[in-house]
Amino acid sequence: MIVVKKGKEPRSLMGFRLQNPDADYESDIPTNVLKDIREQMWKDQVCLCGYCMKKINSPRDVRVEHCRPRHPQGEETHDHKAALDFKWMLGVCYGNSLKRGVKPEDTTCDAHRGNTELTINPFDQLSVRKIKYRADGSIYSDNAEINKDVTETLNLNCQSLSLPQTRKSVLMAEQARIMKKCKGKSRDAFMHELKRTYESLVRERNLTPYCGIIIFWLESKLKIS
């Protein structure tokens, strides 16, 4: 998981919201508005699932998740209109749930979460920085509630989807690329390449599938916390 930066709310959603203040997202939202939301999130999130970071091939494959953490900073308690609030909408994958006869333990993300509330806030950098990765690519947190979110509720160490193994190989490939580029060069050149890679991922948002583990590794090397 990485910090999700939201773009502007689609105009069609804003119009619908203002004209229908009592609307309930699940049942009332028109298809064309939903299409605009999916397209916007797909672009904002650089085609990546907001939870597992797998690539989502097209806006049609985006599932709209209402991700309103338990105690969002500076927010009132849960209210009816939150369901229509673009601020809390997150684009996620189908978490393997479209496969026929799939077992619950083989699903991830929203499909595995059901209605369980989350503590992690994907829109908040301090919250996302509590996520860590082990050398085998598994995801965890020292914060017990966030650890439960990522390992149990969202099932982000799902073995049948090889999520830890995939993350590990993504990190190893990036480390190999950096080592090759810096071979025979000074430690300064190595650190410069780490910084350049970090800027490209985090500031320029050149995001790639499962790059959360690369960002975590770069932050530990660059002592960013």
Name the site residues for Zn ion (rule: CB under 5 A). 49, 51-52, 93, 109
Q: How far is the CB of 12 from Zn ion (least distance, A)?
A: 25
Which residue, 84 or 109, is less far from Zn ion as judged by CB?
A: 109
Longest Cα–Cα distance in the chain: 64
Q: How far is the CB of 134 from Zn ion (least distance, A)?
A: 20
Given a contact cutoff of 8 angstroms between Cβ atoms, the answer to whether 99 and 83 are in contact is no
CA distances from 27 to 15, 20, 65, 68, 130 (A): 17, 13, 14, 19, 35
Going by C-alpha positions, the residue among 180, 158, 166 that lies closest to residue 212 is 166
Which residue, 47 or 52, is less far from Zn ion as judged by CB?
A: 52
Going by C-alpha positions, the residue among 35, 70, 49, 23 that lies closest to residue 207 is 49
Which residue, 49 or 67, is less far from Zn ion as judged by CB?
A: 49
Which residue, 25 or 51, is less far from Zn ion as judged by CB?
A: 51
Which residue, 109 or 146, is less far from Zn ion as judged by CB?
A: 109
